[in-house]
Amino acid sequence: MDTSNRLKLIRALQAAGVRPSAYSVSGAEDLALCLENVDGKWEVFYSEKGERNHIKQFSSESDACTYMYQELMADKTSFM
Count the alpha carbons within 13 Å of 74 in the hemisphere toward its beta carbon: 7
What does the pLDDT read at residue 19?
97
Identify how many contiguous H helices and E strands the chain contains and give both numbers: 2, 4
- pTM for this model (two decimals): 0.93
Q: What is the mean pLDDT of residues 9-34?
A: 97
- The residues with which 51 forms a beta bridge, in sequence order, are 48
**22, burial (CB in 10 Å: exposed 0-12, middle 13-18, buried 19+):** middle
Using 50, 70 and 90 to split pLDDT, how confident is the model at 17? very high
Closest CA to 59 of 35, 34, 40: 40
What does the pLDDT read at residue 72?
98
What does the pLDDT read at residue 2?
85
Using 50, 70 and 90 to split pLDDT, how confident is the model at 15? very high
Q: How far is CA 69 from the centre of its chain?
A: 7
